[in-house]
């Protein structure tokens, strides 16, 4: 069986920031101060995708890693940033953004090249949104049944049934990506886009979800290509 390279998990403290840092008192209040982003993430979470992209575009940002085992996402300080209690959340000079597809799109359009979002072609732009929407609405939700089953039921038998279904359901959605969506070498062909760090992050969960990654060679080749990128390594040194 092919093995996905293991990622070491550790907690960091954000680097000190020079100058007045903008702070959010609520999700609707304006933010003033220096032009810098602050992103909230957690180890093992989908927020890794957004941190990778921030590294790719060489944006200035501050990273705050929440400890979900201590329920830091439920504390008042973070609830003021994102009352959903989930990551990622991105504080910008204009306000707060949540949800991975929105954050990836914002970062790419603000700091990156047009090719990251297919801005040169409305159809390619739409296909990129289509793929990321599938990851958000279907693939990530299938994965969430393993550890977040209580979002759907409190019945212990139902929770166990959800967990037992994970290998089958995750294999099915990833097989569809392997066979029909992944063009190679990147998701949409020769151009690296905002889909690639998103897919990479989800692929890092597959073995834990009970998926036989040896049956997905094209996805594993994409995973390795992502792992070889300096931006990915820089992000993994901070969050994994």
Look over the chain and give the mean of its residue pLDDT values, rounded to a whole number. 86
Is the model's pLDDT at 27 over the cut of 50?
no
Is the model's pLDDT at 50 over the cut of 70?
yes
| Percent of the chain surpassing pLDDT 70 | 81
pLDDT digits (tens, 9 = 90+) for 86-145: 999 999 999 999 999 999 999 999 999 999 999 999 999 999 999 999 999 999 999 776
Question: Do 118 and 128 meet the contact criterion of CB atoms below 8 Å apart?
Answer: yes
What domains does the chain contain, in order, with CATH numbers?
115-229 (1.20.1050.10)
What pLDDT does 145 receive?
62
Residue 36 CB neighbours (<10 A) = 17
What pLDDT does 36 receive?
82
Is the model's pLDDT at 210 over the cut of 80?
yes
**Selected residue with higher pLDDT from 224 and 16:** 224
Is the model's pLDDT at 26 over the cut of 60?
no
What pLDDT does 198 receive?
98
Query: What Å distances lie between residue 82 and 7, 33, 50, 75, CA to CA?
Result: 27, 20, 16, 10
Is the model's pLDDT at 79 over the cut of 50?
yes
What pLDDT does 60 receive?
95
**In which element (H, E) is residue 100 found?**
helix 100-111
What pLDDT does 15 receive?
35
pLDDT digits (tens, 9 = 90+) for 149-201: 566 666 777 768 777 889 999 999 999 999 999 999 999 999 999 999 999 99
What pLDDT does 202 receive?
97
Is the model's pLDDT at 16 over the cut of 80?
no
What does the buried/exposed string (b/e) look like for 93-122 if buried means 16 or more CB atoms within 10 Å of the residue's CB? eeebbbbbbebbbbbbeebbeeebbbeeee
Distance (Å, whole) CA 101 – CA 14: 24
Question: Which pLDDT band, with edges at 50, 70 and 90, does 77 fall under?
Answer: very high
């Amino acid at each position: 069986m092919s093995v996905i390279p293991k990622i070491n998990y550790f907690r960091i403290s954000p680097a000190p920031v020079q100058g007045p840092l903008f702070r959010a008192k609520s999700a609707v209040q304006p933010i003033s101060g220096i032009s810098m982003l602050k992103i909230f993430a957690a180890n093992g979470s989908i927020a890794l995708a957004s941190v990778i992209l921030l590294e790719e575009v060489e944006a200035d940002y501050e990273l705050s890693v929440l400890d979900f085992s201590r329920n830091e996402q439920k504390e008042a300080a973070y609830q003021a940033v994102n009352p959903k209690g989930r990551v990622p959340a991105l504080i910008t000079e204009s306000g707060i953004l949540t949800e991975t597809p929105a954050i990836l799109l914002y970062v790419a359009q603000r700091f990156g090249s047009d090719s990251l979002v297919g801005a040169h072609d409305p159809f390619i732009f739409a296909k990129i949104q289509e793929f990321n929407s599938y990851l958000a609405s279907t693939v990530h939700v299938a994965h969430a049944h393993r550890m977040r089953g209580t979002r759907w039921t409190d019945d212990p038998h139902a929770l166990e049934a959800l967990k037992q279904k994970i290998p089958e359901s995750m294999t099915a959605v990833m097989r569809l990506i392997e066979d029909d969506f992944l063009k190679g070498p990147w998701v949409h062909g020769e151009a690296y886009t905002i889909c690639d760090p998103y897919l990479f992050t989800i692929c890092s969960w597959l073995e834990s979800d009970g998926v036989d990654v040896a049956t997905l060679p094209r996805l594993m080749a994409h995973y390795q290509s992502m792992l070889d990128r300096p931006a990915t390594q820089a992000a993994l040194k901070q969050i994994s």
